[in-house]
Amino acid sequence: MKRTKITVLLAAVCCLGQYASAAEPTKLACDTYGGYFVSNKFEPDAAKSFVVIHDQEQFSNVFGVAMVMRDKHHRLPKDAFKSLMVIAAIKRGNALVEYKVESVTEAKGVVELKYTTTEKKSDTATFACPLIVSIPQGKYTAVQFVETGKPIKKVEMGKIVANSLDAEPTQETTRSTGVALQGNKESTSKKVAWVVDEATDTQRPKSPLRVRIRMEQPVWGEWESARFDYWIENSDVAVRFRDGDKGRGFAGKLLRLCDSQGKVCSWGDKYVAPKEYPPAFGPVVQGSGHGETVSELRRIAIEDFFGPLKAGQYTLQVIVPSGRLMVNDTPNPQLASGLLTFRVVALTDAMQRAIDSVPQDPAGVILEPQARNAKSGVNHQRVEFKLINGSRVPIEYEGYDDDPTSVVFRWEVFTGDGTWREKDPLGWCGNGMMTKRLGPRESAKIAVSVSETPSRIVRFILEVTDAGTNQVRKIVSPGVELVVEKRP
């Protein structure tokens, strides 16, 4: 992307008596940047996005660094957000878009970004092309984007747009995490009304179905992916039940999430109107009395809808709009779960000490991670260790015969209450098992593959057998931070 710089010109204002000439727009210093890709979690279905970003965390939620060989891209300097802010436009579709900034000006608190675009069409590929521009921080009220001479979007700073469950979703959304999101109906902060649990509301039509949600733990760490279970159960006699969103995951449902400041975020509002996403009813499912589960989804990650959660208390609700289900050939009335409250905590010094502490093996066998964090752009990580046998006798451990480094681990996740929780064994899907041997005073490189976890801080446990006494011992690693990114 071409680097553009515009110097600051101050407009002179001359006052004569009680009259003054109109002030010309003030040109702002700006710079453009390249070498970034748009996160596939940020408004993936929007044809265009417009963002105003004030800090690095917000920037990282929208853009990632595209590393290539002989990389010479002009990127944001370190600590850029101490004095700068970023305004950006994103276009998605079957065309590679090049931008050219014409001017960046400010008048009466409104920043105006004028630019032109050139598109190169493609028949086989889709693109998300960003224009990333920095300007000095200031007390601005809005940013007006002008594309090829046409005002295309005005992003107002901090504006909250009222909306209710029954209102038509609006294109104007708000800054729930410091990023002004435009055109994204899927994760917005609005003045929305909570819906009373259908089971306790005597004023609404009754349904034999109930919506339920729960969590496996009431407290989560900022490093964890807070998850919940959702299911619909039949509380009456047998019914004929059809799900208009079967096989669509969580599509067709609504989520409301309230943070500790009372700000309510909403996901799924476009599914309120059937014309936006009509139900597709499948085969009949027979219920069989009270408590029968007729539909369920387990371990749903809240961050998939609202991004990572910061420390604080939250309230969650799931709503099924009317007409998404058929019960005895009759469309369901709107259903809602009760309100589920949970807490997210920050990592404390005491927790960090628990993560770093390692039970010492009396014979001197050590399991040493080669990195305290493991990052990957796919659905799993290969976590590597150095196994050091400091004892005087050989040790043995289980592995797979198709990879000399692959072994069978047990593992534990670090939870929000500051404890370790054991999970199922891990290992490669090899062709067969074999016993591996490590001599005294020797070391070996070993590894394990880890998929998405309920906690991003884990520790690994390797069972080794003393070749002299046949005693089995557990060798524990320090905590390792995992960063798991799903495939696009």
Q: Which of 139, 134, 124, 119 is nearest to 48 (CA)?
A: 119
Question: What is the pLDDT averaged over residues 25-50?
Answer: 87
Does the structure show a pLDDT above 60 at 9? no
pLDDT tens column, 97-113: 999 999 999 998 899 99
Q: What is the maximum alpha-carbon separation in the chain?
A: 102
pLDDT tens column, 217-241: 999 999 988 999 999 888 777 778 8
Distances (CA, A) of 373 to 39, 93, 421: 21, 35, 19
Domains and CATH numbers, the chain: 15-156 (no CATH), 188-345 (2.60.40.2360), 352-484 (2.60.40.10)
Does the structure show a pLDDT above 50 at 141? yes
pLDDT tens column, 81-90: 989 999 999 9
Q: What is the pTM of this model?
A: 0.56
Does the structure show a pLDDT above 50 at 182? no
What is the signed CA dihedral for 60, 66, 71, 75, rounded to 10 degrees?
Answer: -30
Q: Which of 101, 362, 315 is nearest to 215 (CA)?
A: 315
Distances (CA, A) of 384 to 49, 233, 449: 39, 44, 9
User: Where residue 131 falls among pLDDT bands split at 50, 70, 90?
Assistant: very high
By the 10 Å C-beta count (0-12 exposed, 13-18 middle, 19+ buried), 448 is classed as: buried
Cα separation, 271 vs 10, in Å, equals 49
pLDDT tens column, 446-460: 887 776 666 788 898
- Identify the residue with better confidence: 486 or 299: 299
- Identify the residue with better confidence: 487 or 181: 487
- Identify the residue with better confidence: 428 or 259: 259
List, as one string, the DSSP characters of 204-241.
Answer: S---SEEEEEE-S-SEEETTB--EEEEEEEE-SS--EE
User: Where residue 149 falls among pLDDT bands split at 50, 70, 90?
Assistant: very high
Q: Which of 302, 294, 330 is nearest to 318 (CA)?
A: 302
Q: How many residues does the chain have?
A: 488
φ, ψ dihedrals at 77, nearest 5°: -70, 160
Rounded to the nearest angstrom, the gap between the alpha carbon of residue 438 and the centroid of all alpha carbons in its chain is 42
Does the structure show a pLDDT above 90 at 196? no
User: Where residue 409 falls among pLDDT bands split at 50, 70, 90?
Assistant: confident
pLDDT tens column, 240-284: 888 888 878 888 888 999 887 778 888 887 766 656 678 888 777
Whether 114 contacts 151, CB under 8 Å = no
Q: What is the model's pLDDT at position 266?
A: 87
DSSP secondary-structure letter at 58? H
User: Where residue 207 falls among pLDDT bands split at 50, 70, 90?
Assistant: confident
Q: What is the model's pLDDT at position 487?
A: 43
For the chain, give the mean pLDDT.
77
Cα separation, 367 vs 352, in Å, equals 19
Q: What is the model's pLDDT at position 473?
A: 92
Close Cβ partners of 206 (under 8 Å, ≥ 6 residues apart): 198, 333
User: Where residue 174 falls among pLDDT bands split at 50, 70, 90?
Assistant: very low
Does the structure show a pLDDT above 50 at 41? yes
Does the structure show a pLDDT above 70 at 382? yes
Which tokens is 313 given?
A: 């208390």
Does the structure show a pLDDT above 80 at 194? no
pLDDT tens column, 325-375: 888 888 888 889 989 999 999 999 999 998 888 888 999 999 998 865 554
Name the 3-class secondary structure at 256. strand
Whether 295 contacts 282, CB under 8 Å = no
Does the structure show a pLDDT above 70 at 160? no
Rounded to the nearest angstrom, the gap between the alpha carbon of residue 105 and the centroid of all alpha carbons in its chain is 34
Close Cβ partners of 404 (under 8 Å, ≥ 6 residues apart): none
